[in-house]
Structure 1
Amino acid sequence: MAATVSSKLLSLLGTFDARHRRQTLSGIARRSGLPVSTAHRLLAELTAWGAVRRLESGEYVIGRRIWRLGLLAAGEVDLSRVAEPFLHDIHAATRAVVHLAVREGTEVLYLDRVSGHASVPIVSSTGSRLPLHSTGVGKVLLAHAPAEVQEEVLQHGLTRITAYTVTEPGRMRAQLHRIRRDGYAQTFEEMTLGACSVGVPVEVDGQVVAALGIVVPDLRNVRARLVAALQVAARGIGRTLEPGFHPPEAGLG
């Protein structure tokens, strides 16, 4: 029986996974078993709909529309819904930018953001992904990630983004130890110049399932207050989530 157009489209989408999140046309065609010409035509349709996005490099990635559909999965819907009032409470108390994030492979995926009024540069948005090693929420998630994920980032993922990004494996390993010991992470212009951040873990049954973070222009004189506000909210979210809750599997990437 000949493959239908819908089955071909699903075959194309099925080539994307934790280890193949950025793909070339030829790679997608090879993994889907479709001719390059067919894959090119169908990818154009998927791009127009928003299911995939073509980068300047020519590679393809999953588009925001698919990501929004993915948020309908029970785990992330429950997490975002439960966390939303806590995010607004933190924002009301601090007037800062507040994030809810989870780990996806070797990146941090932002599930929600409440914007503040401070003049601080922000590169994240709901649905965006950033490196784990250069953000407050990312460092928290990295500190509590499986050992193989930590090693992958330490050996291959410490890309320099600003002059202040930590790129030495030994220094990052020491930071991850302090994060687990102290219960929070901090960054100083490591992702964007003019932006500092703190992040804390959200735990359910002793397992870290997400991270909360705040971005501000300067942490001096406010870090302790921000960490306390985040930790109160994180405990509230953790208590509200169902026992045994865990987000969708986050692979190595």
Structure 2
Amino acid sequence: MENKSSPVESVDRALLLLMRMRDQGPLSVKAAAEQLDVAPSTAHRLLTALTFRGFAAQSHDRTYRPGPEISGHPQPFLSTQTLGEHSQAALVRLQGTVGETVQVMVLNGGNIQFVDGVESARNLRVARRIGDMMPAFVSSGGKAMLAQLPNAELEEIYRSGLQSWPTGKITTLASLRRSMTKIRRDGFGTSFEETEQGVVGLGVSINDADGRPVAAVTTATPSIRFDRSAMPLHVEALQLAAAEIMEKLRGV
């Protein structure tokens, strides 16, 4: 059989990488470069493009695997109404456990959008937000979701830089990447008066079967009564709520 060359070399290389991940498992940038006989920078650009379109996904060990578009687990469209309806029972239980305002939110580009929540019954409490948007990197839930994304995707989201926010503490892409490393290790995000003065937030990402963030659930506590020793209890309650919400969303 005649050995024909591809008319579009970059497309052919990307397809070869997809076949390699499908047949032989996760692929590092170095292995991809060796497989294609190209420079690592070229392999990295191809893998980044595949990741951006959902055909590949980067794991925390920096290897690449088939993404949701070809793994059989594409992420369905999820309306904020559906998320709110399927989160309400878990939010009520979470609020009863932690005694503070709790909320659920989604990523919207480089921002978060608040979907629903349950307010604390205490006189001094953080108000529930619905529909409001703010930069993801100032919110505990936003950070928790961003931490599920590979650095290449973060760079694409914030390619124009991080917008300023009056109480924000993360101001550069480099500092964002550093904070993501800690959140990936800890399994939750924090916001110490970064969304606004006087509010401390803890957040956990709600992930789909491919580890992609679908939403996040958070607690919001007035800083004057925030107790660091209660953090493990709050994080455990958040994780239980996230698992409950994801279980319900799987049936959507």
Match of 1:173 among 177, 181, 198: 177
User: What's the TM-score, normalizing by structure 2?
Assistant: 0.61
Deviation, 1:219, is 4.3
What stretches of structure 1 of length at least 5 have no aligned partner?
Answer: 1-72, 246-253
Equivalent-residue separation in structure 2 for 1:168 and 1:183 (angstroms): 22
Equivalent-residue separation in structure 2 for 1:219 and 1:187 (angstroms): 14
Deviation per residue, 1:70-115 (Å, 9 max, x gap):
xxx8643332211110000011111211010000111101110111
Amino acid of the structure 2 residue aligned with 1:233? A
Tell me which residue corresponds to 2:250: 242
- Does residue 89 (structure 1) correspond to residue 93 (structure 2)? The answer is yes
Q: Percent identity?
A: 25
Secondary structure of 2:113's aligned partner: strand
Equivalent-residue separation in structure 1 for 2:110 and 2:170 (angstroms): 16
Match of 1:203 among 194, 203, 207: 207
Match of 1:116 among 120, 126, 130: 120
Deviation, 1:153, is 3.1
Tell me which residue corresponds to 2:234: 226
Tell me which residue corresponds to 1:216: 221
Deviation, 1:147, is 4.5
CA-based RMSD: 2.3
Amino acid of the structure 2 residue aligned with 1:238? M
- Does residue 128 (structure 1) correspond to residue 132 (structure 2)? The answer is yes
- Does residue 144 (structure 1) correspond to residue 152 (structure 2)? The answer is no
Residue correspondences, number: 170
1:9-158 mapped onto 2 (5 Å cutoff): 75-118=79-122, 119-122=124-127, 125-145=129-149, 147=151, 150-151=154-155, 152-153=157-158, 156-158=161-163
Secondary structure of 1:100's aligned partner: strand
- Does residue 194 (structure 1) correspond to residue 198 (structure 2)? The answer is yes
Equivalent-residue separation in structure 2 for 1:204 and 1:175 (angstroms): 22
Equivalent-residue separation in structure 2 for 1:174 and 1:222 (angstroms): 25
Deviation per residue, 1:13-66 (Å, 9 max, x gap):
xxxxxxxxxxxxxxxxxxxxxxxxxxxxxxxxxxxxxxxxxxxxxxxxxxxxxx
What stretches of structure 2 of length at least 5 have no aligned partner?
Answer: 1-76
Deviation, 1:220, is 1.5
Against the structure 1 CA distance between its residues 180 and 154, is the aligned structure 2 distance closer, same or farther, given a 3 Å change threshold? farther
User: What's the TM-score, normalizing by structure 1?
Assistant: 0.61
Tell me which residue corresponds to 1:69: none
Amino acid of the structure 2 residue aligned with 1:239? E
Equivalent-residue separation in structure 1 for 2:193 and 2:231 (angstroms): 15
Equivalent-residue separation in structure 2 for 1:159 and 1:96 (angstroms): 28
Highest CA radius of gyration, 1 or 2?
2
RCO comparison, higher one (Cα < 8 Å, 6+): 1
